[in-house]
Amino acid sequence: MESLSDHIEKHLRNLLEQAEHGVLEIQRRELADQFECAPSQINYVLETRFTTRRGYVVETRRGGGGYIRIMQLSWQPAEELAGVIQREIGESLSQREAEHLLLRLVDAQLLNNRQAAMVRAALEQEVEKISVPFQDVLRALVLRAILTVLLERRG
Amino acid sequence: MESLSDHIEKHLRNLLEQAEHGVLEIQRRELADQFECAPSQINYVLETRFTTRRGYVVETRRGGGGYIRIMQLSWQPAEELAGVIQREIGESLSQREAEHLLLRLVDAQLLNNRQAAMVRAALEQEVEKISVPFQDVLRALVLRAILTVLLERRG
DNA sequence: TCCCCCTCTGACCTTCTTTGACCTTTTGAC
DNA sequence: GTCAAAAGGTCAAAGAAGGTCAGAGGGGGA
């Protein structure tokens, strides 16, 4: 059921968790061998799952001694969560952007998967009721309302 | 006379009952093969029988490793809450009506005072942004979204 | 009986994954 | 400096799911 990409993603997350300072260094060829896949598969996983919008930075270097370095940006707990939410959501938010934000919140363990699923469902259900040009604005507004309430404890 | 849809519905409910955490994952093609029907039949069953109204959330993913995930909401008491959220809120809700509803939910100990306060604040903050004739509609919509998520017990 | 609503299907569409052929960068030996 | 080896990068195409929608079918109530 789980795709190869999912497995590789999990593996990398595991390594990242164990890594010091949230920095992980790997070799593409080696990882591809480990999973018996094309090296470009690794790029695919990085491009789709370890993006900036999800809070990761990826650096690479070619040639002998080349590497792929994955860094996880953490949300400073000190930084006021409410402020972050306001800023990141803004006045208008596409479905994709909303999805990225939810994934980041799950990553940061501010939401669990079930809650994220509920938020998605509630969002979709309500946003679909209005005509397309306003959906992004409504999505921002509803998501902000939901998160304001849901993340309140940690305010 | 039980229709094919009824059979599929029963089957899924059974699986869901046995599933851990009220989460079930299936593959559309596989299930369609099992019941010897068109794959789109599965969508029909999901659309008509596993709706939020009835206390379910469905997530899907396409492509390799695709799946259909059905989650059962753990609202308690599920029936009444679904009713409250879907019927009583309706398409439009005045501030006064919203307040009544919140008080009832607190009375029923489905929300605590702190949560109710947060909901009020979130509602006010977002609803005031738009022009008056639409505020009641927006209030209904936002409140429904918030409660959908907040009344989830397993969250 | 007739009609309406619920079922069901099939043709066609969109999204996500995986692979392979070919390209670019870097290093180190000579 | 040149060249070969050792990384990693790119992109298009095939493959693997699931989604959508219009229309045909069917059954029960008025």
Name the closest residue (CA) to the C1' of nucleotide D26. Answer: B3
- Please answer whether residues A31 and A42 qualify as being in contact, where contact means their C-beta atoms are separated by less than 8 angstroms: yes
What does the alpha-carbon distance between residue A33 and residue A18 come to, in Å, rounded to a whole number?
22
CA of B52 to C1' of C22 (A): 50
* Identity of the residue in B73, B142, B154 whose CB atom sits nearest the CB atom of A145: B142
CB contact B150 to A (< 8 Å): yes
Contact: B64, A3; criterion CB under 8 Å: yes
pTM over 0.85: yes
For B68-127, how does the pLDDT look when each residue is reduced to its tens digit (9 = 90+)?
999 999 888 877 888 888 888 988 999 999 999 999 999 999 999 999 999 999 999 999
- Please answer whether residues B65 and A3 qualify as being in contact, where contact means their C-beta atoms are separated by less than 8 angstroms: yes
The mean pLDDT value for B122-134 works out to 90
- Asked if strand C comes closer than 7 Å to B64 Cβ, the answer is yes
User: Hey, what domains does chain B have and what are their CATH numbers?
Assistant: 4-72 (3.30.56.130), 78-150 (no CATH)
Residue of A68, A66, A67, A41 lying closest to A56 (CA atoms): A68
What does the alpha-carbon distance between residue B137 and residue A124 come to, in Å, rounded to a whole number?
16
**Smallest CA–C1' separation from B5: which nucleotide?**
C7
The SS3 call for residue A151 is coil
pLDDT of A155: 39
Say if residue A130's pLDDT is above 60. yes
CA B108 from centroid of its chain's CA atoms: 20
Which positions ≥6 away from B14 have C-beta within 8 Å? none
* Smallest Cα distance from B106 to chain A, Å: 15
* Smallest Cα distance from A74 to chain B, Å: 23
The SS3 call for residue B61 is strand
Cβ contacts of B150 on chain A, cutoff 8 Å: 149-150
Q: Spell out the SS3 assignment of A67-82.
A: EEEEEECCCCCCCCHH
Q: Which residue of A has its CA nearest to B155?
A: A115
* Identity of the residue in B27, B57, B122 whose CB atom sits nearest the CB atom of A148: B122
For A39-83, how does the pLDDT look when each residue is reduced to its tens digit (9 = 90+)?
999 999 999 999 999 999 999 999 999 999 999 998 776 667 778
Say if residue A154's pLDDT is above 70. no
What does the alpha-carbon distance between residue B76 and residue B153 come to, in Å, rounded to a whole number?
8
Using a 7 Å cut-off to protein CB atoms, list the covered nucleotides of chain C. 6-11, 14-21, 24-28
